[in-house]
């Protein structure tokens, strides 16, 4: 059972370039999310999805796009990379948002370290 798989693990971009961080889960989880982790700031929510075809913005959505065409996949797109987007990105999934479906018990990927020059 792979759990949550993120690719790539490391990426270096130049300012203005675009890229997609891939996230896939094989646990049939309805809820998926993207976080960024910066030193001293904990995790900040970028975008999330409560099911296929449904996405919503989190705390820091600017500069990022997401889509959820299948239950399994939730890619994060950087449209025009900026140095401020240098961070470690985590994809996470869970059964759902409600207490009855394991709300908050997130399963995380290993993270993707992105550097924008």
Binding footprint of other proteins on the chain (CB under 8 A): 33, 40-45, 48, 58, 88, 90, 92, 97-99, 103-111
Q: What's the closest the beta carbon of residue 78 comes to other proteins, in angstroms? A: 20
> Any idea how long the chain is?
117
- When the beta carbons of 80 and 103 are compared against other proteins, the nearer one is 103
Paired strand residues for 96: none
Q: What's the closest the beta carbon of residue 10 comes to other proteins, in angstroms? A: 12
**What are the E-state strand segments in the chain?**
4-7, 10-13, 19-25, 31-37, 43-51, 54-57, 64-66, 76-78, 87-94, 107-108, 112-116
- When the beta carbons of 36 and 85 are compared against other proteins, the nearer one is 36
Q: What's the closest the beta carbon of residue 109 comes to other proteins, in angstroms? A: 7
């Amino acid at each position: 059972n792979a759990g949550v798989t993120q690719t790539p693990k490391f990426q270096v971009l130049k300012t203005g370039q675009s890229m997609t961080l891939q996230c896939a889960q094989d646990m049939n989880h309805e809820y998926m999310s993207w976080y960024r982790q910066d030193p001293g700031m904990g995790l900040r929510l970028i975008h999330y999805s409560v099911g296929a075809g449904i996405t919503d913005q989190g705390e820091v959505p600017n500069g990022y796009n997401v889509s959820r065409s299948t239950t399994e996949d939730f890619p994060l797109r950087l449209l025009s990379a900026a140095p401020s987007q240098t961070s470690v990105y985590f994809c996470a999934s869970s059964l759902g948002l409600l207490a009855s479906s394991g709300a908050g018990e997130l399963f995380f990927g290993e993270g993707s370290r992105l550097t924008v020059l």
